[in-house]
Amino acid sequence: MKIKIDSTKKKTELLCGFVLENSNKVLGLGKFDVKTSSVINQSLKDLEGKLGRLTIIPSPGKNYAQRILLAGLGKKENLTKDTIRFVSGKIAQKARELKLKEFSIITPPNFVFDQISSVSQIVEGSKMALYKFDKFKAEKANNSPDLTIIVSKSNKISQIIKTSEIVAEGVIFTKSIANLPPNECTPTTLANFAKTISKKNKIKCNIISKLELKKRGFGGITAVGKGSKNEPKLIILEHNRGPRNEKPIVLVGKAVTFDTGGISLKPGDKMDEMKFDKCGGCTVLGIMKAVSELKLPINVIGIVPSVENMPGGESYRPGDIIKLYNGKTAEILNTDAEGRLILADALAYGEKQYSPKAIIDFATLTGACIIALGTNIAGIVSNNEKLTKKINESSKRTTEEVWELPLNQDFMDMIKSDVADMKNVGIGRAAGTITAAAFLRNAIENTPWIHIDIAGVAWTQIATKEKAYNPKGATGFGVRLILDYLQNL
């Protein structure tokens, strides 16, 4: 999909405009001849401006557009920072369905939204909505119509479009690797994706393999990785475009390429979904790709511990006591609580190696998070109010929703073990998301840290709110959120 801008209306196969509910005009659409106007007015009545509804007017008269498409935005007071994004996604999918080569969208005038926000939503929404995971299907959704955004030209707008395209491509990259089935995506595959990003965008990449992981004391990654023939990897990408001595932001992402639960085997129902247990790591890779393409003038480190959690003759077991990278010991009581073990190693390594300004981690960490917050809001747990505030602001701007859960000493006490420094489960099922975060909290000393549990939001589940730009499968949650945070540092 190529995207360009034009300040005047032009010849197009499909001219698309937005309509508010209870309104009798198309936002930003100029005057037409009498005959066309009357057709448009009739269609406006049919549409009623209802949110997400689309109406197409074929051959509206002798003017520049072959068809006009009217898209409802709903009530003005219900508009969010996401409305233009998901309605644009619907429009793009319609253009594809009609097998068009190109279509045009009229940017709503400033009184509805600021134009910059509208333009970036149009770009992100339509680009993301045209991604489809069809790698393994004979029939591909291969036509991807080009888009002209109708808006007054300016350098600023061109820049916004470029940025938004890179952001959307970051999300799409994350989705495309997160959607890969577990037989086609092992820790080694993810390491190779990281190497490709590093070569293309000239950033540093370091992969630590099984033997070295063991030698260097990554006890969590080593233990969880032992049960699989697909060997564990620790993937590290470094984007250094900030001042030489400026502390970096460290991003850490859980990448369990398949989570069977290990010896504490999961039940069969929906176990296939555990191919998405690598989503946190995929989010970090997508962010690093975009950060390097955006050439952000900051230092950002991406760390992705990747393993496959399998039962087998060499698996780690309930009862084992392991030593994590920071020297603390953990009693294993459930091999299905594996994410916190590999993350603890990666967090401790990130803090020790880079003395970062902040550490942000993403993980499909707990089923409990789905029980607590559902499938449209990610859980956050942090040791730092300022960082939490910044992430909340980015969340408001990007509409990737988060909700903070508390972490106090009582929760830290719940993971105390009789025989080791910690145990890898809490007490029964109480506050499962927080006790998992408490385990992570033990891996770092005092660096500002925020943990984002994406178990409910990383892929579409039964209760997921439908959005055109999030077709079935991985959502790439977190990529837009953190890119916003990094761009506003």
Edge-to-edge strands of the sheet including 321-323? 321-323, 329-331, 422-423
* String of contacts with ligand BES for each residue 341-360, x by CB under 6 A: --------------------
Q: Among residues 168, 346, 358, 368, which is the contact residue for ligand BES, using CB under 6 A? A: 368
Give yes or no for residue 338 binding ligand BES (CB under 6 A).
yes
Give yes or no for residue 277 binding Zn ion (CB under 5 A).
yes
Please choose, out of 186-194, 284-292, 330-338, 407-415, the segment that lies near ligand BES by the rule CB under 6 A.
330-338
Which residue is at the shortest CB distance from ligand BES? 367
Q: What's the min distance (Å) between Cβ of 424 and ligand BES?
A: 7
Q: What's the min distance (Å) between Cβ of 336 and ligand BES?
A: 4
SS3 per residue for 416-473? CCCCCCEECCCCCCCCHHHHHHHHHHCCCCCCCEEEEECCCCCECCCCCCCCCCCCCC
Q: CB–CB of 191/207 below 8 Å?
A: yes
CA-CA distance, 125 to 87, in Å (whole number)?
Answer: 7
* Contacting ligand BES within 261-280 (CB under 6 A): 277
Annotated catalytic residue 340: yes
What DSSP designation does 12 have? Answer: B
- The residue (of 338 and 453) whose beta carbon lies closer to Mn ion is 338
Give yes or no for residue 336 binding Mn ion (CB under 5 A).
yes
- 3-class DSSP assignment, residue 342: helix
Q: What's the min distance (Å) between Cβ of 308 and ligand BES?
A: 12
- The residue (of 120 and 306) whose beta carbon lies closer to Zn ion is 306
CA-CA distance, 412 to 436, in Å (whole number)?
Answer: 10
- The residue (of 52 and 367) whose beta carbon lies closer to ligand BES is 367
Q: Is 320 left (phi over 0), alpha (psi -120 to 50) or beta?
A: beta
Q: What's the min distance (Å) between Cβ of 170 and ligand BES?
A: 23
Contacts of 4 (CB under 8 A, 6+ apart): 146, 147, 148, 149
Pairing of β 54-58 and β 67-74: antiparallel
In angstroms, the Cα distances linking 207 to 88, 305, 440 are 39, 10, 22
Give yes or no for residue 259 binding Zn ion (CB under 5 A).
yes
Give yes or no for residue 337 binding ligand BES (CB under 6 A).
yes
Taking CB within 5 to 8 Å according to partner kind, which of Zn ion, ligand BES, Mn ion, none is near residue 455?
ligand BES
Catalytic residue among 85, 226, 275, 340: 340
* Contacting Zn ion within 287-346 (CB under 5 A): 339
Q: What's the min distance (Å) between Cβ of 364 and Mn ion?
A: 9
HSE value, Cβ hemisphere, 13 Å, CA-based, for 367: 12
- Angle between the 339-354 and 432-441 helix axes, to the nearest 10 degrees? 30
Taking CB within 5 to 8 Å according to partner kind, which of Zn ion, Mn ion, ligand BES, none is near residue 334?
ligand BES
What value, to the nearest 5°, has the Cα angle with vertex 110 and ends 104 and 111? Answer: 125
Catalytic residue among 9, 195, 214, 266: 266
Token pair for residue 115? 């134009």
Q: Among residues 124, 169, 259, 453, which is the contact residue for Mn ion, using CB under 5 A? A: 259
Q: Among residues 334, 388, 399, 487, which is the contact residue for ligand BES, using CB under 6 A? A: 334
The CB density around residue 90, as the number of other CB atoms within 10 Å, is 22
Catalytic residues: 266, 340
Where does this chain bind ligand BES (CB under 6 A)? Answer: 259, 277, 334, 336-339, 364, 366-368, 425, 432, 455
